[in-house]
Amino acid sequence: MAPETLIGISLGLPLVAVVLVVLFGRMPNLRDGCSGVVAGLVFISTVWLSTTVFSGGRPQWSLGEMLPGFEIAFRVEPLGMLFALVAAGLWILTTAYAVGYMRGHHEQHQTRFFVCFAIAIFAALAAAFSANLFTLFVAYELMTISTYPLVTHHGTREACRGGRVYLGILLSTSIGLFMLAIVWTWSLAGTLDFRIGGILSEAVASGRISQTGLGILIGLFTFGIGKAALMPFHRWLPAAMVAPTPVSALLHAVAVVKVGVFSVLKICIYIFGLELLRESGVSLYLAYVAGFTLVVASLVAMTKDNLKARLAYSTIGQLAYITLGAMLATPNSVIGGGMHIAMHAVGKITLFFCAGAIYVAAHKKNISELDGLGRKMPLTFAAFLIASVSIIGLPPGGGAWSKWFLAIGTVETHQYWLTAALMVSSLLNIAYLVPIPIRAFMKSPSSSTDGETTAKSSWFSEMQEAPLLCVVPLCITAIGSVALFFAAQWIYEILLPVTESASAMMNIPGSTPGATK
């Protein structure tokens, strides 16, 4: 099949899922089956598409001009392909998990839930494949709107308040700052296309934008993309945790937040160009903001007793890693950032799955209540531990590689304070993640005193895991986060073409990952 068609199919399938879910809304089994099958098909088509992209192809597909001069168009490049693969792959698992969770929990409005879910995936894929800033912005906003009903799913006052913060911050940053930055870029460059080497170099050379202006512009972009949750625009992420756990899992560990940092990366690479950023150094102050965010978020995470809130702050910190990588703009840091999108996605979704499984099986929300629960839910907590290792950045977790490249980036640019921030943050990660499984396995349940007397033989009879549809996905993602450790070389080679400078691209037309430096 032609890669162009595959783009259309990958984007169209989630919309098909929307229609099917609405049609079969009254037949839950058929409805959820459709969701699952479509998710599988989307994954297959993205994998198929990736074979072309990773061997150097750059398929394009244009939907036509929405306004004169502003086109809705898609062009798949490695970074977006990687993101699309992660999103599509995790969609399958999340669909399975969501079915288990929503039913185990007897949630209302499941049809609306799955509809919004599919739209959000559509938006994520559209953003991943976008060929220009205009398309990216449209997809970004669609994502905000379609996830609002998911965040406020419970319809309680608390959900309403969370939704208000969510929508308020995301809409106001995107309209007030992001859109402004896009129009400014357009007025400078006369185009919004993503190009290797950026589109602003000419405007800089001709003096139409000063260094200060450039610094402001990238600030507008980075803060305007509120989904990247850079402080001080991070409040929406904890607020969004009122959502049901599958939403938190896919959207606030994978789709929504990753669309944010992905956009930041893409803008740094294809709008500004890494060379321009590196030479002018205008983005360095944002690297420090990111450094600040990742340390402070980790510190805040330590104070949270609510498991989901702690994970939310952990996400804020991990997103700042990616932003940091983008802002340093060296090949290694950008590859580290891109890699961390995948690594963190798989790791964090496992953690959220675990949080949800604990809630479904034991109705526990707070970390202080988890004592001894590891005996009842060994698989869940084992998965939690493995994923924590990956998030912290220890081998054999995938996160080890991405953090390694990011650290190299800080050393390359001689920003040793940032290196220190990365190290401190990793230590803090250990401090706030590892105690959770340890507590669950080692401590005796506070309520029952017979914890110690329980014989080893009855270990399995005690098991009270969440429904199978919840446990299986989280085991798979936990294994995945280890598997990624061994796939790092592959990801590195995939992402390498992204970091090539414009001049290198011209020397080697249609260059492939084989073009070593």
Partner 1 sequence: MIDAIDSHLAILLIVLPLMAAPICVLLGNGRAAYTLALLVSILTFACSVTMLDEALEHGVIYYDLGNWHPPYGIEYRVDVFSGFVLTFVSGIGAAVLLYAPMSVRDEIPASKHYLFYATYLLCLTGLLGMCVTGDLFNVFVFLEISSLSSYALISLGKTRRAPLAAFQYLILGSIGATFILIGIGLLYQMTGALNMDEIAARVPHEDGPRTVLVAFAFLTVGLCIKMAVFPVHTWLPNAYTYAPSVVTCFIAATSTKVSVYVFVRLIYGIISPGFAFNFLPLDTELMFFSLAGIFIASTAAIYQDNIKRMLAYSSVAQVGYMLLGISLATPTGLSGGIVHMFNHALIKGGLFMVVGCFVLRLGSVQMSDWKGAGRTMPWTATAWVIGGLGLIGVPLTAGFISKWLLLTSIFEAGWWPIAVLMLVSSLLAVVYIWRVVETLFFAEPSEAAAMATEAPLRMLIPTYLLIGGTLVFGVWTTYSAGIAHAAAIALLGEAP
- The nearer residue to partner 1, 182 or 265, going by C-beta atoms, is 182
- The nearer residue to partner 1, 16 or 145, going by C-beta atoms, is 145
CB 330 within 8 A of CB 412: yes
Give CA–CA dist 101/115, Å, rounded.
Answer: 16
Q: How far is the CB of 171 from partner 1 (least distance, A)?
A: 6
Give CA–CA dist 192/480, Å, rounded.
Answer: 36
Between the CA of residue 443 and those of 440, 449, 450, 452, what are the distances in Å?
Answer: 6, 11, 12, 10
- The nearer residue to partner 1, 160 or 442, going by C-beta atoms, is 160
Q: How far is the CB of 359 from partner 1 (least distance, A)?
A: 23
Q: Angle 349-352-355 (CA atoms, 0-180°, nearest 5)?
A: 155
Q: How far is the CB of 293 from partner 1 (least distance, A)?
A: 24
- The nearer residue to partner 1, 153 or 439, going by C-beta atoms, is 153
* Other beta carbons less than 10 A from residue 62's beta carbon: 14
Q: Which element (helix H / strand E) includes 55?
A: none
Q: How far is the CB of 263 from partner 1 (least distance, A)?
A: 14
**Using omega within 30 degrees of 0 as the cis cutoff, is the peptide bond preceding 396 cis?**
yes
- The nearer residue to partner 1, 156 or 512, going by C-beta atoms, is 156
- The nearer residue to partner 1, 44 or 180, going by C-beta atoms, is 180
Q: How far is the CB of 67 from partner 1 (least distance, A)?
A: 6
- The nearer residue to partner 1, 159 or 329, going by C-beta atoms, is 159
Q: How far is the CB of 115 from partner 1 (least distance, A)?
A: 12
Buried b (16+ CB within 10 A) or exposed e, 231-248: bebbbbbbbbbbbbbbbb
- The nearer residue to partner 1, 54 or 114, going by C-beta atoms, is 114
Q: How far is the CB of 243 from partner 1 (least distance, A)?
A: 14
CB 499 within 8 A of CB 336: no
Type of residue found at 262: F
Give CA–CA dist 17/115, Å, rounded.
Answer: 8
Q: How far is the CB of 141 from partner 1 (least distance, A)?
A: 4
Handedness of CA 304, 307, 309, 314 (dihedral sign): positive
Of 379, 384, 385, 387, which is closest to residue 463 (Cα–Cα)?
379
Give CA–CA dist 162/45, Å, rounded.
Answer: 35
Give CA–CA dist 244/159, Å, rounded.
Answer: 10
CB 295 within 8 A of CB 428: yes
- The nearer residue to partner 1, 259 or 329, going by C-beta atoms, is 259
Q: How far is the CB of 223 from partner 1 (least distance, A)?
A: 14
Q: How far is the CB of 319 from partner 1 (least distance, A)?
A: 23
Give CA–CA dist 239/235, Å, rounded.
Answer: 6
Residue 193: beta bridge partners? Answer: 132
- The nearer residue to partner 1, 148 or 352, going by C-beta atoms, is 148
CB 205 within 8 A of CB 276: no
- The nearer residue to partner 1, 101 or 178, going by C-beta atoms, is 178
Q: How far is the CB of 79 from partner 1 (least distance, A)?
A: 22
Binding site for partner 1 (CB under 8 A): 66-68, 70, 137-138, 141-142, 145, 152, 155-157, 159-160, 164, 167-168, 171-172, 175-176, 179-180, 183-184, 186-187
Residue 64: beta bridge partners? Answer: 72
Judged on CB neighbours under 10 Å (0-12, 13-18, 19+), 56 is middle
